[in-house]
Amino acid sequence: MQDNAPVSRESDGKDLFSKFDPIIKMREDLLSSGVEDPFNLVMEQVLSPTRAICNGRETILLGTYNYMGMTFDPDVVDAGKQALSDFGTGTTGSRVLNGTYQGHKDVEDALKEFYAMDHAMVFSTGYQANLGIISTIAGKGDYIVLDIDSHASIYDGCKMGDAEIVPFKHNDIEAMEKRLKRIPEGAGILVVLEGVYSMLGDVAPLKEMVAIAKRHGAMVLVDEAHSMGFIGENGRGVVEAQGVIDEVDFIIGTFSKSVGTVGGFCVSNHPKFEIMRLVCRPYTFTASLPPSVVATAATSIRKLMHGSDKRAHLWENSKRLHAGLKALGFKLGTETAESAIIAVIMPDLGQGAAMWEALLKEGLYVNLARPPATPGNMTLLRCSLCAEHTTEEVKTILDIFEAAGKKVGII
């Protein structure tokens, strides 16, 4: 026996992937019940913001976050085509090197106009906007106080930085204030909130929370991903609807919902904000958005400024769907419609997946959300409405829910 022979590991089938065994098993159990895979849907054709051919069937889309239906807007599509012809397919570079084109400046100008703020910084995704801003501004010795139900990108931003992370119970004003009171004198504090929480579609009490945060000397960041273009008089989000937009320090948003393309941003009035472009790594060390994407985003954002009729129709849709589902006997995430997300609470994952499949077979797509991504380990069918859904479509959606709910035995 050679002493210097490589040591082979105990071959009990364990390797670095063994930690994923529980989730592999959960998935296998679900699929072995014979349901269509809820996380492997392919849209073969997309006909409009509200219709697609999914797994061979024409389907009403009710789970796309395409709130304002801008994805097929002719002006937006034309702007993208023009930029594709004029500037090519991609920038092949970072924003701080060769990746800032006229279109990137233009979309940042559109955001400044939209929010009436001094500074706007565009990231390649919404995820990176949270990751970059949070991890960069809150450093060692600082404290981040955040809602426990915050989005993964917020948690990942916290984890990437060196600040102390202090979560509080969802939307609990008192729990937030207690934690702020206990933070050592002189420490820097960032309070991170969301306007609309995407799992249940509920809205934060920002008016009270922002006032308390400011009283404790904190800076406030609000993620308005699920409210842009729709909530508030000018579509600036829950901060606008609740009258605190001038008190918050940073608003984070995305192009991948109401704007209808992909990308993320932060807007701010902080006088030193521009330095973020040099110190924020998820902004610097990645390629910028393609010219066609920023052109569609800029055109879409400027159109959203004048979208009050669409906003009114989307609210009608949301209220109609909420009231209809409630009348059918479904358990919902909120008492009334608070946003364009209506979450239907399922008894468990098995019945949730069965219901999801029944809806799909009847021609309706919704999002299936399951633990651990959900609060309280709930299984949810998340419906997100679009301003382009007609009143008749909402009626059809309710009919499909009724048929599927009876078939699965949930109502």
Partner 1 sequence: MDRAAVDARIRELIEPFNKKGITITEDTSFANDLEFDSLTVMDFVAEIEDAFDIIISMNQQAEIERYGQLVDAVHKMQAAS
Chain contacts with partner 1 (rule: CB under 8 A): 143, 148, 158, 164-169, 175, 178-179, 182-183, 372, 376-377
- In the complex, the smallest distance separating the C-beta of residue 194 from partner 1, rounded to whole angstroms, is 17
CB atoms within 10 A of CB 268: 23
Please state the closest distance from residue 374 (CB atom) to partner 1, in A. 11
The smaller minimum CB distance to partner 1, of residues 200 and 385, is found at: 200
Q: How far is the CB of 199 from partner 1 (least distance, A)?
A: 14
**Cβ proximity to partner 1, 174 vs 246, nearer residue:** 174
Q: Measured from the CB atom, is 131 or 400 closer to partner 1?
A: 131
Cβ contact 358:408 at 8 Å: yes
**Can you list the alpha helix ranges (DSSP code H) found in 116-186?**
126-137, 152-160, 173-182
Q: Which is nearer to partner 1, 217 or 329 (CB)?
A: 217
Cα separation, 284 vs 270, in Å, equals 20
- Which CB atom, from 6 or from 372, has the smaller least distance to partner 1? 372
Q: Which CB, 53 or 165, lies closer to partner 1?
A: 165
CB-based burial of residue 351 (10 Å sphere; 0-12 exposed, 13-18 middle, 19+ buried)? Answer: middle
Which pairing describes strands 51-54 and 43-48: parallel, antiparallel, or unpaired?
Answer: antiparallel
Segment (H or E) for 57: strand 57-61
CB of 382 vs partner 1, minimal distance in Å: 20
Compute the distance between CA of residue 166 and CA of residue 171 in angstroms, rounded to an integer. 14
Check residue 273 and report its DSSP letter: G
How many C-beta atoms surround the C-beta of residue 43 within 10 A? 14
Task: Specify the residue, 148 or 211, whose C-beta has the smaller distance to partner 1.
Answer: 148
Report how far apart the first and last C-alpha atoms of the chain are (Å, whole number). 70
CA distances from 285 to 128, 148, 260, 282, 357 (A): 11, 29, 25, 6, 41
Helix locations, 254-369, DSSP H: 276-279, 281-284, 291-304, 308-328, 349-361
Q: Residue 183 or residue 206: which is nearer to partner 1 going by CB?
A: 183
The residue among 80, 103, 81, 79 whose CA lies nearest residue 91 is 103
In the complex, the smallest distance separating the C-beta of residue 330 from partner 1, rounded to whole angstroms, is 24
Q: Which is nearer to partner 1, 88 or 141 (CB)?
A: 141
**CB-CB contact of 122 with 256 (8 Å):** no
How far is residue 173's CA from residue 171's CA, in Å, rounded to a whole number? Answer: 6
Smallest distance from the beta carbon of 182 to partner 1, in angstroms?
5
Question: Shortest gap between Cβ of 377 and partner 1 (angstroms)?
Answer: 7
In whole angstroms, the minimum distance from the beta carbon of 378 to partner 1 comes to: 11
| In the complex, minimum distance from the CB of residue 100 to partner 1, in angstroms, rounded to a whole number | 36
